[in-house]
Amino acid sequence: MDTSKFTTTRRRLWPWAAIAGVVSAGAFLAVAELVALLIARDGSPILGVGSFVIDIVPQWAKEFAIQTFGSNDKLFLLIGLGVGIGIAAAAAGVLEFVRPLIGVAVLVVAGVASVASAVTRAAATPFASLPTIIGTVAGSVLLYLLAQRLRSWRDSVAEPDMQRAALDRRGFIRFAATAGAIALVVGVGARVVNVTSSSIAGIRKALKLPAPRSTVTIPAGADLRIPGISPLFTANKDFYRVDTALSVPSIDPETWRLTIDGLVDKQVSLSFDDLVGMGLDEYVITLTCVSNEVGGNLVGNAKWLGVPIRNILSLASPRSGADMVLSRSADGFTASTPLSSLTDPGLNAILAVGMNGEPLPLEHGFPVRMVVPGLYGYVSATKWLTELKVTTFAADTAYWTPRGYSATAPIKLSSRVDTPRINKAIDPGSTRIAGVAWAQTVGIAAVEVNIDDGDWQQATLSTPVNQDSWVQWYLDWNASSGTHYVAVRATDKNGKLQEQEPSPIAPNGSTGWQKTLIRVN
């Protein structure tokens, strides 16, 4: 046999080998998704590996993802993962073509790795590894068969037996195309059915929360309705979302329980009805993420319906010596909140079940989450809550603490320009510069605006709803053509001026005054 010709043929078939690898990986994932749909809904290998990646990636990568993609960070993680899997699968295909069983070995190793990441998840069910195991078998068999056909095609070209080569070629392509098409339909179909048939969305829709015993009176002038400003209440669909949950936990309020344990005289377990039966009141609280850069949008205001956490903790009687509550979610996330913040009668730390007139949306923690005024979300706002462990900062560590963030983190007072936007030039003449400012638990006393390094001018504030809610502000200005610099800063009711010195979001929140541009035609 002419070996140089053999080598050329082999190389020419590499792209086909790569396709065989990708098709096999697709079959692996598709079969796994199908099995997940049938017997272990939490067993999707893609979501399992994705969640594992979320937990192990370094802090800078996570920050980059949140800053760059915001609430779409998970979509981009999945796309990145897909591209990575595609490249690895193509390589496995070429390996398998050149050396039988080596490519299969790569697939098996990937399968074992994703089984490992699935079974070590905090919330894994006993069968969570089955979809990946069965998927690995399916993908490996397919890769073995495809590579075998490809080698047969290669041999008939090298012989050369052109008639057989044409047949082998057609046979391989037909096999690969059919397998690929089936994998695509089955995989996407199973995932879509898995997501859309989650009965929790229906249960939530049908859930009727009792009317609140008390509501918050919204004073006239609290919502200035200036075009382009953040509305007083952020609509649920526009509310920022930040969490480590790649797939939103599905929790049925019928079976949900909250355990209060740790350093308590009496361990307590509450059902959803027990909680709601304690009586619901309305609270207006502005939530803020520690990852919010000055001028950023990881902040939102809502009307929450809930029960004070101090009433729930008192059922269990925390022991002296405890100084922290470690709250835990169904997916294993934890937050450390000072016990004193949760027992303070003057602070409305709540377990929320309602948000802006609806049960909590699934992504915002259905059926029960924490909301604590004045503390960043990562140390207080646990969604999909399942446990409150009374403990100490010395004994327990929350999710973000070993990842570069402080164990305690009060929200830093801040202010933001909403309008005019930097990317939209305005017409000259009378203009309203407007935005929001927040200093939860204290309240905003003043907002000042500076244009083109002139004097600081007092903005007009909206009527505050309470000290836990943001306020709106505006300043009327006669815009002249050209580009202008605008800066904003707030002062809270303790007389504290917003910190001028910029600092990054880690370890406990950004500082600095927002400076932005206004372009006037």
Ligand X SMILES: Nc1nc2c(c(=O)[nH]1)N[C@H]1C(S)=C(S)[C@@H](COP(=O)(O)O)O[C@H]1N2
Binding residues for ligand X (CB under 6 A): 239-245, 287, 289, 329, 331, 333, 364, 377-378, 381-384
Nearer to ligand X, 28 or 470 (CB): 470
Residue 347: which residues within 8 A CB-CB, separation 6 or more? 341, 372, 373, 374, 441
Nearer to Mo ion, 242 or 465 (CB): 242
If one asks whether residue 398 binds Mo ion (CB under 5 A), the answer comes out as: no
Task: Work out what residue 437 binds among Mo ion, ligand X, none; the CB cut-off runs from 5 to 8 Å by kind.
Answer: none
Q: Are 93 and 103 in contact (CB under 8 A)?
A: yes
Q: Exposed, middle or buried by CB within 10 Å (0-12, 13-18, 19+), for 299?
A: buried
d(CA 33, CA 40) in angstroms, rounded, equals 9
Nearer to ligand X, 131 or 300 (CB): 300
Residue with tokens 């049938």: 38
Task: Work out what residue 96 binds among ligand X, Mo ion, none; the CB cut-off runs from 5 to 8 Å by kind.
Answer: none
The single residue among 95, 242, 299, 342 that binds Mo ion, judged by CB under 5 A, is 242
Q: Are 375 and 337 in contact (CB under 8 A)?
A: yes
Question: Minimum CB separation from ligand X for residue 152, in Å?
Answer: 51
Question: Minimum CB separation from Mo ion for residue 65, in Å?
Answer: 13
Nearer to ligand X, 207 or 290 (CB): 290
The single residue among 378, 384, 405, 470 that binds Mo ion, judged by CB under 5 A, is 378
If one asks whether residue 296 binds Mo ion (CB under 5 A), the answer comes out as: no
Nearer to ligand X, 364 or 484 (CB): 364
Nearer to Mo ion, 24 or 510 (CB): 510
State whether the Cα torsion 162-168-171-174 is positive or negative. Answer: negative
Interactions with Mo ion, residue window 70-99 (CB under 5 A) = none
Question: Minimum CB separation from ligand X for residue 212, in Å?
Answer: 20
Give the containing element (helix H, strand E) for 114. Answer: helix 102-119
Task: Work out what residue 364 binds among Mo ion, ligand X, none; the CB cut-off runs from 5 to 8 Å by kind.
Answer: ligand X
The single residue among 289, 313, 342, 479 that binds Mo ion, judged by CB under 5 A, is 289
Q: Is 332 left (phi over 0), alpha (psi -120 to 50) or beta?
A: left
d(CA 44, CA 81) in angstroms, rounded, equals 14
Nearer to ligand X, 153 or 283 (CB): 283
Q: Exposed, middle or buried by CB within 10 Å (0-12, 13-18, 19+), for 470?
A: buried
Report DSSP state, residue 218. Answer: -
Question: Minimum CB separation from ligand X for residue 287, in Å?
Answer: 6
Q: Whole-angstrom distance between the N-terminal and C-terminal Cα of the chain?
A: 76
Nearer to ligand X, 294 or 381 (CB): 381
Nearer to Mo ion, 289 or 390 (CB): 289
Question: Minimum CB separation from Mo ion for residue 377, in Å?
Answer: 4
CA–CA distances in Å: residue 496 to residues 106, 444, 490: 59, 10, 9
Question: Minimum CB separation from Mo ion for residue 168, in Å?
Answer: 57
If one asks whether residue 245 binds Mo ion (CB under 5 A), the answer comes out as: no
Question: Minimum CB separation from ligand X for residue 332, in Å?
Answer: 8
Task: Work out what residue 95 binds among Mo ion, ligand X, none; the CB cut-off runs from 5 to 8 Å by kind.
Answer: none
Q: Are 252 and 206 in contact (CB under 8 A)?
A: no
Task: Work out what residue 514 binds among ligand X, Mo ion, none; the CB cut-off runs from 5 to 8 Å by kind.
Answer: none
d(CA 294, CA 1) in angstroms, rounded, equals 70
Quote the tokens at residue 85: 């899997």
- Degrees, nearest 5: CA angle 421-461-67: 40
Task: Work out what residue 284 binds among ligand X, Mo ion, none; the CB cut-off runs from 5 to 8 Å by kind.
Answer: none
Number of residues interacting with Mo ion: please give it, by CB under 5 A. 5
Nearer to ligand X, 331 or 468 (CB): 331
Contact stretch for Mo ion (CB under 5 A) within 14-22, 203-211, 281-289, 347-355: 281-289
Helix-strand-coil percent breakdown of the chain, rounded to 5?
Answer: 40, 25, 35
d(CA 366, CA 455) in angstroms, rounded, equals 48
Q: Are 279 and 292 in contact (CB under 8 A)?
A: no
Task: Work out what residue 303 binds among Mo ion, ligand X, none; the CB cut-off runs from 5 to 8 Å by kind.
Answer: none
Contact stretch for Mo ion (CB under 5 A) within 50-58, 175-183, 318-326, 374-382: 374-382
Nearer to Mo ion, 378 or 474 (CB): 378
Closest residue to ligand X using C-beta atoms:
377
Task: Work out what residue 383 binds among ligand X, Mo ion, none; the CB cut-off runs from 5 to 8 Å by kind.
Answer: ligand X
The single residue among 306, 377, 443, 509 that binds Mo ion, judged by CB under 5 A, is 377
Nearer to ligand X, 204 or 241 (CB): 241
Question: Minimum CB separation from ligand X for residue 6, in Å?
Answer: 55
Quote the tokens at residue 243: 């969490």
Q: What is the DSSP string of 46-61?
A: HHHHHHHHHHHS-HHH
β-strand pairing of 358-359 with 257-262: unpaired
Nearest to 493 by CA among 453, 520, 521, 466: 466
Contact stretch for Mo ion (CB under 5 A) within 70-78, 190-198, 285-293, 434-442: 285-293
Residues in contact with Mo ion by CB under 5 A are 242, 289-290, 377-378
